[in-house]
Amino acid sequence: MPERKALQVAVVDYGLGNLYSVKQACEHVGLGAAITSSKQEILCSDAVILPGVGAFGDAMASLRRLDLTGVIRDIALSAKPLLGICLGMQLLMTESCEFGRHQGLGIITGTVERLQSSDKGGRRLKVPQVGWNHIWRVREWTGTPLGGLGDGDFMYFVHSYYVSPADTGMILSVSRYGVTQFCSSLQRRNIFACQFHPERSGQPALRIYHNLKALLEKAVS
Amino acid sequence: MNIRIIPRLDIKGPNLVKGIHFEGLRVLGKPERFARYYYEQGADELIYLDAVASLYGRNSLLEIVERTARDIFIPLTVGGGLRSVEDIRIVLRAGADKVSINTAAIGRPEFIQEAAKTFGSSTIVVSIEAIRRPDGTYEAYVDYGRQRTGVDAFAWAMRAAELGAGELLVTSINKEGTGKGFDLELTRRIAEAVPIPVIAAGGAGKISDVHDVIAQGRADAVCLASLLHYNALNHLRAEDDDYSQEGNIEFLRQRVRLSHIQDTSLPDIKAFLEARGVGCRWRQPAPANA
C-alpha cells in the first residue's frame, strides 16, 4: 500500500502574526503544516489557515501585494476547510471601519466594528482586550470545529475589533467585553473563523485542531 | 474583564534564576520544568526574561523558548537584549508569541514603532523598569535595573503607548524581589494614563499584594516570580536535573524557606481573587485524549 503523506495545512504568511504557534498546534495534533505565501502551496494543501494580528488595512495591502486575495477566495468557494483566526477572521468580512474604511476579502457578508471602551458602570475598559474570556454557545457545536468544547470555556483573545456578520445564523459562539456582546466564532460550510487564538488557549482549545484533523481524515478516506 | 496572572521566569544560561533588586541571582532550576508546572497550574501566560542578554549578548534562551513553545499552549512573551526587528523575528520564530523590549526602545523610541508596524502592536510589550526617587518622581532604568536613563517613567509610558506598544510591563526596581508588595502608585498612575493593558511586576510577597495591585493599582495583569517559584520548588524535584557549574546553586541545595515570601500557588491566588470579586480564568482539566 503506498504510504500517504501527512495531511498538509497551509498557514498563510503575509508578514504579520505569530504563525509559528499555529504551526506548532497543527503539528501537535499530527497535521503537517507549512508557513507559506506561495499560491501553489496554498492550492495544493488539504486545509488553509489565515492567521494574523495587526491592522486590517495593512494586512489587506499585504495580501494584495502578495497576490493572495484571489487564491483565498478560491479556497473559500471550494470544499477545503478555511480557518480564519483573529485578524484572519476579520479579513474574511466585507469591510472594516478600522482607521477609515477598508475593503476585506468579502467572503462573508458583514462588517468589522470596534470594541466599546466602557463597561456597564461607565468605567473605562482597556481596548485592546488582551486575555481570557468565555465563549458562549448560540447553536449546536456537535459536528462543528467547536465540537467537544464546553459552553463557557475560556479562550485567549487579543483584539480591538470584532466581526458582525449579516447572517447571524452562522454564529457559533458569542463573548462579552464590557457592554459589547460579539461574535467570537462562526461557521459557514467549509469556512470556520474565530476571534480567539485556539493555539494559545490551553489544552482544551486544541480540540479545534483535533476536529480539523478528523474532518480532513474523513474527507480523504 | 478577567485579570491575568503571569509567572515570570528570569533566565541565565540554562537556568531559572531569581534575585533581589535584580541583583544576587540564585539558581532555582530548569525553566522548562517550571513553565510546564505553571501551565498545568493554570497560568494565563508566561514571560521569559533573559537576565543577562543586555550585557553579554545572546545565549541559550532560544533553545529554551523552542522547547517550551512546543508543548505549552498559552501565550509566551520573551525579552532580554532584543535590539532590532531582526532580533524580534528570531525570537518569534523560535515560538514566542510576544516580545518585551526595554533598553533598545529607550535608546531609540522609533524602535517601538518599527516593531509594532512589522509584527502588530499586540506582539510588542514595552518593559518599563522604574526606580522611585526620594522626591517621589520615578525614573526609567535599563539593563535589568542597572543603568539609569534620566527619563521620567510616566512620560515614557505614555510615549511608548503612542508609539504602538501593545502592553506595558511595569516593574518597580525598589520592590523587585523584596516581598514587600507592589509599588501601587507607580502601577496606578501608569494604568490610568494609558489605553493599553498594564502588567504589574515587582514586589509580591503574599496573596493580598496581588489583590492590592489589581484593586488599588488598577493593574490589568500581574506578573509573579518569587511568590510562585519558591512554592513550585517544593513540587519539582530539582535533584533530577543536572545543573551546570555556572551560578549560585547553594540556595537550591539548602532548600531554605524564605520568611518574607508566603507559601502559595496559582490556584490559591486565583481562588483568593475570585472570592473578592476579581474575575480570573480558572484552570480547566485537560481532557485525557488531548
| The residue count for chain A | 221
Q: Which fold has domain B4-275?
A: TIM Barrel (3.20.20)
The pLDDT assigned to B287 comes to: 45
Candidates B3, B74, B92; nearest CB to A156:
B74
Task: Answer whether residue A15 shows pLDDT above 90.
Answer: no
Q: Over the stretch A166-209, which tens digit does the pLDDT of each residue have?
A: 999 999 999 999 989 999 999 999 999 999 999 999 999 999 99
pLDDT band with cut points at 50, 70 and 90 for residue A25: very high
- Say how far apart CA A161 and CA A117 lie, in whole Å: 11
Residue type, A149: L
CA B178 vs. chain centroid, Å, equals: 15
**Contacting residues for A220 by C-beta, under 8 A, at least 6 apart:** A4, A7, A46
The pLDDT assigned to B288 comes to: 44
In DSSP terms, B170 is beta-bridged to B128, B200
In chain A, what residues touch B93 (CB-CB under 8 Å)? 20
**Contacting residues for A53 by C-beta, under 8 A, at least 6 apart:** A16, A17, A18, A86, A87, A158, B119, B120, B122, B123
Q: Are strands B124-132 and B167-172 parallel, antiparallel or unpaired?
A: parallel
Task: Answer whether residue A147 shows pLDDT above 90.
Answer: yes
Residue of B nearest to A202 (CA): B73
How many angstroms separate the CA of residue B92 from the nearest CA in chain A? Answer: 7
Write down the mean pLDDT value for chain A. 92
Inter-chain residue contact B119 with A131, CB threshold 8 Å: no
The pLDDT assigned to A94 comes to: 96
The pLDDT assigned to B290 comes to: 40
Pick the CATH number of A8-220 from 3.10.20.30, 3.40.50.880, 3.40.980.10, 3.90.1150.10: 3.40.50.880
**Core vs surface per residue B143-181: b (16+ CB within 10 A) or e:** bbbeeebebebbebbebbbebbbbbbbbbbbbbbbbbbb
**Contacting residues for A133 by C-beta, under 8 A, at least 6 apart:** A154, A155, A157, A175, A176, A177, A184, A196, B2
Q: What is the mean pLDDT of residues A14-43?
A: 91
- Using a CB–CB cut-off of 8 Å, the residues of A that contact B are 15-18, 20-21, 24-25, 28, 52-55, 58, 87, 117, 119, 125-133, 148, 153-154, 156, 158-159, 177-178, 197, 199-207, 210
- Using a CB–CB cut-off of 8 Å, the residues of B that contact A are 1-4, 39, 44, 69-71, 73-75, 92-97, 117-123, 166-167, 195-197, 220-221, 281-282, 284, 286-287, 290
Contact between B43 and B6 (Cβ < 8 Å): yes
Torsion sign across C-alpha atoms B82, B142, B220, B212: positive
Inter-chain residue contact A178 with B196, CB threshold 8 Å: no
- pLDDT by residue for chain B (290 residues), tens only, comes to 899 999 999 998 888 988 665 556 788 888 999 999 999 999 999 999 988 765 455 557 888 999 999 889 999 999 988 999 999 988 988 889 999 999 899 999 999 999 998 888 889 999 999 999 999 999 999 877 788 999 999 999 999 999 999 999 999 998 887 889 999 999 999 999 999 999 999 999 999 999 999 999 999 999 999 899 988 888 886 555 555 545 555 655 555 556 678 889 999 999 999 999 999 997 654 444 44
Torsion sign across C-alpha atoms A19, A21, A27, A31: negative
Which ipTM score applies to this complex? Answer: 0.92
Per-residue cell: B115: 516593531
The answer to whether B86 is a known catalytic residue is no
The pLDDT assigned to A19 comes to: 86
Contact between B236 and B34 (Cβ < 8 Å): yes
Q: Which residue has the cell 544560561?
A: B13
- Say how far apart CA A140 and CA A146 lie, in whole Å: 9
Candidates A15, A52, A199; nearest CB to B73:
A199
DSSP annotation string for B227-275: HHHHHHHHHS-GGGS---S-S--HHHHHTPPPTTS----HHHHHHHHHH
Instruction: Give the residue, B257 or A75, on which the prediction is more confident.
Output: A75
Q: Is A220 helix (H, G, I), strand (E, B) or coil?
A: helix
DSSP annotation string for B102-159: -HHHHH-THHHHHHHHHH-GGGEEEEEEEEE-TTS-EEEEETTTTEEEEEEHHHHHHH
How many angstroms separate the CA of residue A117 from the nearest CA in chain B? Answer: 9
Inter-chain residue contact A131 with B93, CB threshold 8 Å: no
Per-residue cell: B210: 496581588
Residue of A nearest to B99 (CA): A18
Tell me the backbone φ, ψ of residue B101, rounded to 5 degrees. -125, 150
Domain boundaries, chain A: 8-220
Instruction: Give the residue, A119 or A67, on which the prediction is more confident.
Output: A67
In chain A, what residues touch B199 (CB-CB under 8 Å)? none
List, by residue number, the catalytic residues of A.
Answer: 86, 197, 199
Residue B218: DSSP 8-state: -
Residue of B nearest to A148 (CA): B287
Q: Are strands A180-188 and A191-194 parallel, antiparallel or unpaired?
A: antiparallel
The pLDDT assigned to B285 comes to: 45
Domain boundaries, chain B: 4-275
Of residues B10, B32, B45, B220, which has the active-site annotation?
B10
How many angstroms separate the CA of residue A126 from the nearest CA in chain B? Answer: 6
- Say how far apart CA A181 and CA B179 lie, in whole Å: 40
**Core vs surface per residue B76-97: b (16+ CB within 10 A) or e:** bbbbbbbbeeebbeebbebbbb
Contact between B115 and B109 (Cβ < 8 Å): no
Residue of B nearest to A203 (CA): B286
User: Which residue, among B230, B237, B275, B283, has the nearest Cα to B41 in the 3D structure?
Assistant: B283
Q: Which residue has the cell 494604568?
A: B191
